A and B are shown apart, each in its own frame.
Chain A
Amino acid sequence: MKNKILKTMAVCMMAVLLAGCGSSDQAKETSGGQKEAGQEQNADGEAATLNLAYQYGVAYAPLSIVKEQELIEKAYEEATGKKVTVTWNQMSSGADINTGISAGSIDAGFMGAAPAITGVTKGVGYKIFTNLSGQEHGLMTNDANIKSFDDLIGSSNQIALVNIGSIQHILLAMALENAGYDPHALDANIVAMAHPDGMAALESGNASCHLTSNPYIFKERQEENLHEIMDVTQAWGIDDSFIVGVASETMHDNDPDLYQALCSAIEKAVNYINDNQEEAAKITCEFDGNSEQEELEYIQKSKYTIETSNLFELASFMARTEFIESAPESYEALVFDNVSGN
């Protein structure tokens, strides 16, 4: 009997020890993270580091230029005479980047305007430091009978888009509201799947509509049996903010030199891509997996600028239609001081 109690206690002890190991590992990781932040803080230390997170596609093209031409490293060295190590992490969604920044393992990231607004209003601890690009979006259908929202609302037609709550979903709601309908009138018709899967579903006739963005929208526009429902195209165009950059407040406050270097590097890359489209396409096509000609076409059909556009309007719309819980007070609450636009 005694023996058994002893055994049970042994098992408990083991559990405690195991769990203890786990938590001390975690502690190590965080202290590592703090150390990195610390390195940024004392700008007179040897080497600063910058952890960046970005996503994939033509909308992020200026980042390939920044990376390839080492613009951040150069700008930082020019300003301070010191070196900075930049780490680029490709991540698959804005939500992942949000978690990374709030955990302190990422200093700045690039994502859709919608997850960035969610992050700012949720208090992740970052603000938008630059606009990156604007893109075309559109709702394509393979059914000749579908001409407007009237034909979709209340029907069983399915609309493929990348995710519920994604920017494409918000644009659908916006277009519905502009046309005088309930913004959530088509929510039950949505099927969430990645862009290429949605394109395959539309072309094979499995879904009747696909709401997508550059470059898929251009590929679909070339197909003869597909046509576009223009409301979405008009709701949010190439001039409106689509991809933005966010930087943690810690980095902004503690290492202004690094923050400045980041901003100026993005500006340089955006100018470069606008002035030398062909050269830029050569650099970025490898990263995006397109041929040079395709890449050039997609770049020409994008708008790259560091000035935001209609960002606050988007945030207000998201709050009004319950995509986010609380509205930001003003445009200034969304962005850092150096950002221009609205």
Chain B
Amino acid sequence: MNDKNRQIHAFAARAVFVIVLLLIWEYVAKSGMMGEKSELIFPSLEAIGDAFIRNFIQGYAGISLWVYIGNSMKLLLEGLLIGVVLAFLLSGLSMVSKIFYDICNLVISVFDLLPGVALLPVVIIIFGVKPGVIVFLVVHAVLWPMSRNVLDGFLAVPQIYVEAGMNMGLKGASLLWGVYFPAATSYIVSGLKVGWARAWRGLLSAEMIFGVASCPGIGLFINQMRTNMNNAEMYATLVVIIMIGLVVQYGVLSPIEKCTVKKWGMSR
């Protein structure tokens, strides 16, 4: 019962917060605070709502926003999957081999600092001019922070668990699977959250700079709207991005969290 009350409260607090923000937006838009051209650069909620619908019906260049979203999601999932698998591989191998750990640690520290779009020229020369470039940049965005999280998780596993596992005859891969993974789940889940957000942002910024017209994505759509001074459409696309983010957060990541770390009592 208490739990349900808590949920209602959380929902009410968020709803009020969002409504207040929207009201402030509308006030700023309507009051002409942003100067004469307010309607152009700071469109009202109605204009953004209209643009939202227009994006899906008319889209840009005769292609509905759905197609752009589909293209982006395809590249994103590909990159995310490769990135997550590689992150597990890197951090797993680091726990098995000390030399690999030393090198891996350095590599993560170095590459985590490099913005993906700064690597674009090199990536184009190596991979050529195709959507694979975007996938590579998404992998780059996910891999390093995710590896760092998983590795930290593995390192935080109490020595006593590891020794208990060894006593039971676990070693190498079976030790990783039997002890490290379950014990580090909360780190892995938080790594997934960070990785997802980084992937999403990496994808959009890459698409805004590097656009393959035969496979246009949301980043390209935003850029187009900006170039053509269609600011209401641009904001409406940002709303779409936020909505996709929320769907993934509450539809995918939260359930994972609920079934693992929350259920096991590792986090509240």
Contact = CB atoms under 8 A, between A and B. Distances in A.
A194 interface: yes
A206 B37 contact: no
B229 A98 contact: yes
A47 interface: no
A189 B214 CA distance: 6
A113 to B, nearest CB: 14
Chain B interface SS verdict (over half):
helix
Contact of A19 (B5, B12, B21): B21
B169 interface: no
Contacts of B27: 23
Contact of B129 (A119, A124, A160, A196): A160
B212 interface: yes
Contact count band on B: 35 or more
Nearest to B127: A206
Contacts of B34: 26, 30, 103
A273 to B, nearest CB: 29
Interface residues of A, number: 54
Interface string A273-297: 0000000000000000000000000
A164 B28 contact: no
B20 interface: yes
Interface stretch (B98-106, B118-126, B155-163): B118-126
B24 interface: yes
Interface stretch (A50-58, A72-80, A197-205, A302-310): A197-205
A325 B60 CA distance: 12
A8 B12 contact: yes
Contacts of B231: 99
B228 interface: yes
Given A118-B229, A197-B124, A206-B129, A164 B211 contact: yes
A163 interface: yes
Interface string B209-253: 111111000001001101111010000000000000000000000
A10 to B, nearest CB: 10
A11 B12 CA distance: 11
B41 interface: yes
Contacts of A2: none
Interface string B13-28: 1001100110010011
A95 interface: yes
B17 A123 contact: no
A194 B127 CA distance: 17
A86 interface: no
A197 B229 CA distance: 26
Contacts of A192: 209-213, 220
B77 to A, nearest CB: 22
A169 B211 CA distance: 13
B115 interface: no
A154 to B, nearest CB: 13
Interface of B: 5, 9, 12-13, 16-17, 20-21, 24, 27-28, 33-37, 40-41, 61, 120-121, 124-125, 127-129, 209-214, 220, 223-224, 226-229, 231
8 closest A-B pairs by beta carbon, nearest first, are A192-B211, A102-B37, A206-B128, A190-B213, A122-B229, A104-B35, A207-B129, A15-B17
27 contacts: A11-B13, A12-B13, A26-B34, A93-B227, A94-B227, A99-B229, A102-B40, A102-B229, A118-B229, A123-B37, A124-B229, A160-B129, A163-B211, A163-B227, A164-B211, A164-B213, A164-B224, A165-B228, A189-B214, A190-B211, A192-B213, A193-B211, A200-B121, A201-B124, A204-B125, A207-B129, A325-B228
Given A122-B228, A192-B212, 5 more contacts: A12-B13, A30-B33, A93-B227, A104-B35, A115-B227
